[in-house]
């Protein structure tokens, strides 16, 4: 992990991707909020928090024009409030389906509708 820096949108954009793997940089304002940058250059916001005795990484969203640092901080604050109230915000998260399950694609939906 890189040393703590005060995150700004400009600093996030200027982060250099690692040669391999990924690097996480913590936010100074919101405890547990981190930006993760992979070797491909993709920047993703995560919230790392202990929930029910387990350390969890909750993906908040991918950094970009529609989801910036202010959005990530707002979403993280909301989740932290829920966690402090005893709720587990990971219960309602949608997890991607593994291969073998019918994908929610246009053709998959089209076939479902024909069967009905």
Question: How far apart (Å, rounded) are the C-alpha atoms in residues 56 and 34?
Answer: 13
pLDDT of residue 24: 94
Report pLDDT digits (tens) over 4-62. Answer: 557 999 999 999 999 999 999 999 999 999 999 999 999 999 999 988 888 989 999 99
Q: Order of strands across the sheet with 33-38? A: 22-26, 33-38, 43-51, 54-62
Question: How far apart (Å, rounded) are the C-alpha atoms in residues 113 and 31?
Answer: 46
Q: Write the CA distances from 84 to 31, 60, 61, 66, 87, integer angstroms.
A: 13, 18, 21, 28, 7
**CA quadruple 48, 51, 56, 57: dihedral positive or negative?**
negative
pLDDT of residue 3: 54
Report pLDDT digits (tens) over 66-99. Answer: 999 999 999 999 999 988 888 877 776 655 555 5
């Amino acid at each position: 992990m890189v040393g703590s820096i005060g995150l700004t949108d400009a600093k996030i954009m200027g982060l250099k991707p690692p040669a391999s793997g990924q690097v996480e940089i913590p936010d100074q304002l919101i405890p547990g909020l981190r930006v993760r940058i992979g070797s491909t250059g993709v920047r993703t916001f995560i919230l790392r928090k202990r929930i029910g005795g387990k350390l969890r990484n909750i993906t908040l969203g991918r950094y970009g024009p529609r989801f910036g640092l202010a959005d990530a901080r707002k979403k993280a604050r909301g989740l932290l409030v829920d966690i402090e109230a005893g709720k587990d915000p990971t219960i309602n998260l949608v997890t991607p389906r593994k291969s073998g399950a019918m994908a929610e694609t246009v053709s998959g939906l089209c076939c479902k509708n024909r069967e009905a």
